[in-house]
Structure formats: C-alpha cells, structure tokens
Amino acid sequence: MRTHPHILAGALALVAPFLAPPIAHAQEAINTGAATQPSPGHTVLREQIRFTRLRDDPTGRDREVEQWSSVTSLIHGITSDISFSLSAPLVYREVDAPDPADSGSVFDLDDVTAMMRWRVLRHDTGPIDTLRVSLLTGLEIPTFTSVSSDSWDPIVGAVGTMIRGRHGLSLSGQWKFNTGTEREPLFAGKGKADLLRYDAAYLYRVSPADYADSSDAAIYAVLEMNGLYETNGDHEVFLAPGVLFEGRRFAAEASLQLPAIQKLDRRPETRFAITIGVRFLF
C-alpha cells in the first residue's frame, strides 16, 4: 500500500488539537474574570458555593442576612476567540428584621446570566507567557422567583490577562444596566441603580517553580480586589485572599472576601463572604 507522508502529516496537524488532552490552565481567579476560555468544542463546568453575611443595614429596616448560594456555570468554546457562558444561582436566604414583612427564609432560583466573550487580542511570548484581552456582552435574565430582580439587565465589559513566569494578573470591568424597581435591595445590582463591577487579581504560582506546557498541575496563591459601585452612590471594595489548584481537566478554588471600603446608604454591609468551587473541563 502506497503512503503519502505529506498528506498524513497534514491530516495529523489538523486533528492534533482534538486528540490532545484539554488543559485547564486558565489561571482564572475565584472572583475575577480572565481573558482565557475553553478551546473550540470544549466546555467548562464550574460550580461555586458561596456563604455571605450582611449586617449594619443603614436603611432603618435593620435587616440581617445570611445567604448560601450555589452557582452553576457552563462555558463553551465556540471558536478560538469566541465563547458563550450561562450561569444559574440557586439561593437559600435567611433574613432577620424587626418587621415581620422583612423577615423569613427563602430557597429559590435567582436570575440567570448569559454572556458572550470575544477575544480581541492574543500575544503569546512563550509556552505559558501571554497577554490577552476580551470584550464581554451579556444579559441577566429574570426568573421571576422570590429572589429575582424581575428585570432584564444588559451587561457590557472587558477583561485583560497577563501571565509572566510565575506571575499572573487579570483586570476586569463590567457595567450592568439595571432596569429593576427595588429601592433598597439586599445586594448590589438588584435595584434601580446601574452597577459598575471592577476587579483585579494577582496569582503567584507556588508550585511547580518551573512550568512547562507539559506540566500536569499547578497551585497558585491568589489575592483579589473586588469593587462594586452603584450609580446611587453605594460603594463597596473587598480584599480577597485565596488559593487555586489547576490540573488538566479539574480545578479547585477557595476565597475569603473581607470589606476594605463600605459606603452604603441603601443596603446592608457585607461582613464577609466565603467561596469554594470546582471546575471540570470536557
């Protein structure tokens, strides 16, 4: 049987990206987005469990809140530069307040967020080192449940990621056009005011010291700054230390958010928030 080496080599080059094992080395922090995304045809399943405690309600309603949320996200690579994500939060909330109308517990599905990500810049300077920038556009879709904002809220934003050796840096900004009517919501972005979400994340690769494209796993120390500014003047900034483990098909993460700046007039202050999560790459 006669073979054609040049044809065989070309065919292998075409199918190699699909035969190679997917790599989950996205270096995406826990609370901050990154300009990395799955390869075409691959999907990331991300599950985050978050506990948040709210106190010191400045509205006079004296609401004290404890909330557990489980956020399930699917991120699918459409092309090498375009991905689509869908996030659905399931919420259990307990509210204690002097007014019985403000008190009680609820377990329900919160609003769903659909997002498109378009990478407009990719400059790779090594097997791992890179500079990437992506634009974001999306929509928060109301579920019309007891925890929903009952509003359709467009989102636009951008995110940039730079990786140099053992160091990674991501900067992200999103603007949410709120169309809701709640004047004194419990959380940012759930009322009438538009929301600016701005984030920065620094990641330091603790292990391994020398990293190659063939490496199977890495552990990162993470420090984040997460800001929430609403057009009604409410403003919160958090510092969030964390840890991230990334393998080829699996990642695990944990973070503690602590308030650094809190200037709120229309909703309770966040005392702290704890997040743990896992990611699976298919």
DSSP states of 266-282 as a string?
SSPEEEEEEEEEEEEE-
pLDDT of residue 9: 44
pLDDT value at 23 more than 60:
no
pLDDT digits (tens, 9 = 90+) for 182-199: 888 999 999 899 999 999
Which residues of 16-56 form beta strands (DSSP E)?
43-55
CA distance 264 to 95: 18
Give the residue-averaged pLDDT of 267-274: 97
How much is the pTM?
0.86
pLDDT of residue 182: 83
Give the residue-averaged pLDDT of 156-177: 97
Question: Would you call 20 exposed, middle or buried from its count of C-beta atoms within 10 A (0-12, 13-18, 19+)?
Answer: exposed
**What is the three-class DSSP state of 15?**
helix
pLDDT of residue 88: 98
CA distance 117 to 73: 14
Pairing of strands 269-281, 43-55: antiparallel
pLDDT value at 252 more than 60:
yes
Range of the domain at 150: 5-281
Helix (H) or strand (E) holding 132, with range, is strand 130-141
Give the residue-averaged pLDDT of 52-57: 96
Could you tell me the CATH number of the domain that includes residue 123? Answer: 2.40.160.40
CA distance 82 to 142: 25
CA distance 111 to 88: 7
pLDDT of residue 35: 95
pLDDT of residue 211: 77
pLDDT digits (tens, 9 = 90+) for 5-18: 444 444 434 443 33
pLDDT of residue 210: 84
pLDDT digits (tens, 9 = 90+) for 217-237: 999 999 999 999 999 999 999
pLDDT of residue 4: 47
Q: Indicate the number of domains in the chain.
A: 1
pLDDT of residue 120: 97
Give the residue-averaged pLDDT of 95-122: 96
CA distance 252 to 217: 11
What are the start-end ranges of the H helices in the chain? 5-19
Give the residue-averaged pLDDT of 56-67: 94
Q: Encoding tokens for residue 110?
A: 């919160």
List residues bridging with 153 in a β-sheet: 140
Question: Do 5 and 13 touch, CB atoms closer than 8 A?
Answer: no
Pick the more confident residue, 53 or 212: 53
Q: How far is CA 242 from CA 4, 129, 167, 258, in A?
A: 53, 22, 15, 11
Q: What is the C-alpha radius of gyration for the chain, rounded to an integer number of angstroms?
A: 21
Give the residue-averaged pLDDT of 77-106: 96
Pick the more confident residue, 215 or 122: 122
Percent of the chain at pLDDT > 90 equals 83
Pick the more confident residue, 101 or 119: 119
